[in-house]
Amino acid sequence: MNPTSVAIVTGSSRGIGLEIARALGRKGHALLLVARDATALASAQQELEREGLRAATCAVDLRDASCADTVLQRARDAFGEPDVLVNNAGTAPTAKFEATTDAMLDETFALHVKAPLALARAVLPGMRQRGRGCIVQLASTAGLRAFPFTSAYTAAKHAMVGLTRALATELQGTDLRAYAVCPGFVDTEITRSAAAAIAARGKLTKDQAMQKMAEQNVIRRMHTPAEVAATVARLVAERPLGCTFVMDRDPPAFLD
């Protein structure tokens, strides 16, 4: 790996995104952390810098796809042209199908489809010119199959996987790579919030709701953020052929 490689990681102020940034930083990448909350980003930056990693921040609202050029310019100003883009930022609303609103659908598509498209569109010309680059979309098994009460999320993740497959097809025959990484349920703050919402309905406790979600994974347990981060870091380092990488199987493998 080029020791001056620059990685943009969205949704990296906490959770999976922060763990991905940490894993890539330990591999020698300079990191641009992207999220909405400037205070949370500053805390994440300090945490990584205490480990001796190089990090800068960019506080933007990715629901506005027009900020892609701002993100790219911030990466250039901080470290140089990006070689890696990880689209991790997202949201996971839960509701019955008939209670799924246009606003839920708009927000999930903005974060899981429109922002990744805009950011990839921004970084690709430079990657093509330099003849190297890797774009990773943090998708989900919800992009491959359906789960109840997640209509907006499932639709958006299916779109994200399709978007990545289309890009990977266009990149065939080059040294550029595009991956859709598909874990099942991951033990994150978002997942625990969903479990709390289920518990509030009174039928299950929060712990029982977490267990029910874990049992929906093929591997019968939840993934950890560190597991997901290690998978992303390995794909970025090794650049294997393939596109849709399914973590929720034993062993994890590409579908295509």
| 153 tagged catalytic | yes
Instruction: Compute φ and ψ for 150, nearest 5 degrees.
Output: -135, 40
**Does residue 245 contact residue 181 with C-beta atoms inside 8 Å?**
yes
Residue 78 token pair: 């901080």
Are residues 216 and 174 in contact, defined by beta-carbon separation less than 8 angstroms? no
**DSSP helix, strand, coil percent of the chain (3-state; round to 5):** 50, 15, 30
Cα angle value 1/87/130 (rounded, 5°): 40
Give 186's DSSP letter: B
Among all chains, which residue has been given the structure tokens 């980003």?
41
Distance CA 175, CA 83 (A): 12
φ/ψ of residue 88, rounded to 5? -115, -25
Which of 33, 100, 120, 153 is labelled catalytic? 153
Catalytic positions, written as ranges: 153
